[in-house]
Amino acid sequence: MALDGPTFATTQWTLVWQAAKDQDDTARPALEEIIRRYWEPLYTFARRRGMSREDAEDATQEFLEGIVRGELLNAADPAKGKFRAYLLTAWRRFLIDQYRKETALARGGRERILSLDFGRGEKRWLDVEASAPDADRIFSLIWANNLLDEVRRRLHKIYADRDRNHVYETLLPLLTVPMDAARYESLATELTLSCSAVKVALHRLRQRFGETLRDVVLETLDDPEEIDAEIGELLAIMAGK
């Protein structure tokens, strides 16, 4: 089953998981979307912990398929909190209590129900291997990067649907860049827009980025009041703090 479905609506993640646990088929697409977005932090965590590429692939696949089937949701109670924290706790428990019991003979014996690009996951691991000193740090770093990738993916679709992809790609690198008259004039020439139109377009992109970031982060929280703290932590992770 390939995980390339549409983005699910903002919702509390514990409700999605509970519905999947109860074998509610309407929750499956939302659960698969969460997995599609966040499996790489699990894989890179396992690699940092010293697992071989093959073992990390098998463990990640088995863990996530167990979640989709509802098997692992009985082993832990998400209660109220952050999806990131619950997922990492469940992953640690799985590696300690369950996966170590698996034998090499069992590998490949079960039909795979998820399609994961482990080549991409390995590349991401190699990209951050030297810069992440421990498994928790690498999990957080890949988590944050994937979350921002999802924000950019949603924004790209918005602009592409409006045939403004060139505007999006030109302005995206400037989200946090201080602007002056010379920069605006250069952009106006490149985009064949007036300087005032460029200013408005950049302002709207920054606004949409912030709104979309909040939407994506909210999907990983059970308490909406935690959103500002979670975004602050995300920014700290990206800043290397």
**Would you kindly state where each structural domain of the chain is located, as residue ranges?**
13-238
> Can you tell me the distance from the alpha carbon of 144 to that of 132, in angstroms, rounded to the nearest whole number?
13
Q: Shortest CA distance to 85 belongs to which of 193, 202, 220?
A: 220
State the DSSP string of 131-196.
T--SHHHHHHHHHHHHHHHHHHHHHHHHHHHTT-HHHHHHHGGGTTS---HHHHHHHHHHHT--HH
More confident call, 169 vs 114: 169
- Residue-wise pLDDT tens digits, 4-39: 333 333 445 665 666 666 666 666 676 777 777 778
Kindly indicate the confidence band of residue 222, based on its pLDDT and cuts at 50, 70 and 90.
confident
* Token digits of residue 60: 């990640």
Contacts of 7 (CB under 8 A, 6+ apart): 33, 154
Considering the chain, what is the average pLDDT of its residues?
80
Q: What is the mean pLDDT of residues 42-46?
A: 91
Report field, pTM of the whole predicted structure over 0.75 = no
- Residue-wise pLDDT tens digits, 145-174: 889 999 999 999 999 999 999 999 999 999
Q: What is the mean pLDDT of residues 88-99?
A: 80
